[in-house]
C-alpha cells in the first residue's frame, strides 16, 4: 500500500528545462520568486506569468500535473483572499449587513491569488523537472561558498541524501510493523482522534528503535568505505553549465528588469 509512493514529484523527461544545469534552475527560480514579489502592479505580474508560461510550455509537463500541485494550497488561497476581500478599508463597492467589499480589497485579493499560484507553480516546475538527488547535489554546490563561514554544507547535503535514500526503506518497515501489530489485534482504524493517535505508539516505538539500529550500521558501513566528511571529496557526477544555462539566466534577468521598470513607470 505505502510502497507505491514516489519521493518528491520528479517527472522524468528530456526537455530543455530538464536538461538545464540544476544550479541555474535553482537561481532562476529564485529570480522568478523575486519577480513576483517586486511586481506591484498587474502588468508586472502579467509579465511574470508570461515568463512562467513560456518555461512551463518548454518543460512539456502535463497541465494536469501542474494543477495537482496547486491542490494542497487551495485552503491558503481561500483564506488569504477572504481576509483581503472583506477586511481592507477603502472605497466601498457594495455592502451587505456588516460585510463590505472594497475596491482595494478586491484588487489585493486578486493580486495575492495570482502571486501565490505563480509562486507554487514556479517552484513545482523546479521539482518536476529536477530529480531529488540532482537537486541535493546542486544545493550542495550552490551553498559551498558558505563553507568558509563554517556552515556544514556537505553534512547538510549528506543528511538530505540519506533521508531520501531511507524514506522508502522506512515506509516499507512501517508497513510491516503495522501488519504485525494488526495481527496481534491492534486497532488503528476506529475510535476518537486521540485514541487513534495513541494507537500509533506501538508502531512508532519499534520504528524508532530500528531506525537507530540502521543508523549505527550505516555509520559503520560508511566508515568501512573511508568516509571522512566533506574534505577532499570528489564527485562521480559533474555538473556542467552550458551556453543555454547562461542564456536562460540572462532571459530571466531581462524579465526581472522589465518588471522593475514597470514598477517605476506605472507604480
Partner 1 sequence: MQEKIITAQNVEFHYDNEYEDAPVKQVLKGVSLDIEKGSFTAILGHNGSGKSTIAKHFNAILLPCGGKVYVEGIDTADEEKLFDIRQHVGMVFQNPDNQIVATIVEEDVAFALENLGVAPDEMRERVDDALKSVGMYEYREHSPHQLSGGQKQRVAIAGIIAMRPDCIVLDEPTAMLDPKGRREVLKTIRRLNRDYGITIVLITHYMDEAAQADRIVVMDGGTIIMDDVPKEVFSNVETMKKIGLDVPQVTELMYLMGEAGLPSDTHIIDEDECVEALLELLK
Least CB distance to partner 1 at residue 222 (A)? 6
Check residue 234 for interaction with partner 1 (CB under 8 A). yes
CA distances from 243 to 138, 145, 249 (A): 18, 23, 10
Check residue 222 for interaction with partner 1 (CB under 8 A). yes
Residue appearing with cell numbers 477586511? 87
Check residue 223 for interaction with partner 1 (CB under 8 A). yes
Least CB distance to partner 1 at residue 8 (A)? 10
Judged by CB under 8 A, the stretch of 14-22, 37-45, 217-225, 241-249 that binds partner 1 is 217-225
Q: How many CB atoms lie within 10 A of CB 4?
A: 6
Which lies closer to partner 1 via its Cβ, residue 232 or residue 243? 232
**Are 264 and 49 within 8 A, CB to CB?**
no
**Are 140 and 233 within 8 A, CB to CB?**
no
Which lies closer to partner 1 via its Cβ, residue 31 or residue 164? 164
255 contact partners, CB below 8 Å, separation of at least 6: 35, 47, 48, 50, 51
Choosing from 40, 155, 187, 217, the residue that interacts with partner 1 (CB under 8 A) is 217
How is the chain split among helix, strand and coil, in percent rounded to 5? 75, 5, 20
Site for partner 1 in 143-172 (CB under 8 A): 161-162, 164-165, 168-169, 172
Q: 28: number of CA atoms within 13 Å, CB side? A: 26
Choosing from 31, 58, 116, 133, the residue that interacts with partner 1 (CB under 8 A) is 133
Check residue 2 for interaction with partner 1 (CB under 8 A). no
Which lies closer to partner 1 via its Cβ, residue 76 or residue 221? 221
Beta strands in the chain (DSSP E): 92-96, 99-102
Residues in contact with partner 1, counted by CB under 8 A, come to a total of 29
Kindly list the residues in this chain that would bind partner 1 in the complex (CB under 8 A).
7, 132-133, 161-162, 164-165, 168-169, 172, 214, 217-218, 220-228, 232-238
Amino acid at each position: 500500500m505505502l510502497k507505491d509512493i514516489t519521493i518528491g514529484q520528479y517527472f522524468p523527461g528530456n526537455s530543455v528545462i530538464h536538461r538545464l544545469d540544476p544550479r541555474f534552475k535553482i537561481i532562476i527560480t529564485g529570480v522568478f520568486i523575486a519577480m513576483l514579489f517586486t511586481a506591484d502592479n498587474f502588468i508586472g505580474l502579467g509579465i511574470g506569468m508570461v515568463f512562467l508560461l513560456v518555461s512551463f510550455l518548454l518543460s512539456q509537463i502535463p497541465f494536469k500535473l501542474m494543477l495537482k500541485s496547486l491542490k494542497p494550497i487551495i485552503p491558503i488561497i481561500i483564506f488569504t483572499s477572504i481576509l483581503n476581500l472583506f477586511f481592507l478599508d477603502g472605497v466601498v463597492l457594495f455592502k451587505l449587513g456588516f460585510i463590505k467589499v472594497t475596491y482595494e480589497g478586491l484588487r489585493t485579493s486578486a493580486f495575492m491569488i495570482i502571486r501565490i499560484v505563480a509562486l507554487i507553480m514556479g517552484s513545482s516546475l523546479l521539482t518536476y523537472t529536477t530529480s531529488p538527488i540532482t537537486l541535493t547535489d546542486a544545493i550542495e554546490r550552490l551553498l559551498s561558498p558558505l563553507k568558509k563561514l563554517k556552515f556544514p554544507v556537505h553534512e547538510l547535503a549528506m543528511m538530505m541524501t540519506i533521508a531520501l535514500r531511507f524514506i522508502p526503506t522506512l515506509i516499507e518497515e512501517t508497513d510491516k510493523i503495522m501488519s504485525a501489530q494488526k495481527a496481534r489485534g491492534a486497532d488503528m482504524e476506529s475510535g476518537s482522534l486521540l485514541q487513534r493517535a495513541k494507537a500509533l505508539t506501538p508502531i512508532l516505538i519499534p520504528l524508532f528503535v530500528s531506525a537507530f539500529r540502521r543508523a549505527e550500521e550505516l555509520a559503520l558501513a560508511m566508515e568501512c568505505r573511508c568516509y571522512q566528511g566533506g574534505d577532499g571529496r570528489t564527485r562521480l557526477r559533474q555538473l556542467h553549465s552550458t551556453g543555454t544555462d547562461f542564456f536562460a539566466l540572462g532571459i530571466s534577468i531581462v524579465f526581472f528588469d522589465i518588471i522593475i521598470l514597470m514598477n517605476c513607470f506605472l507604480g
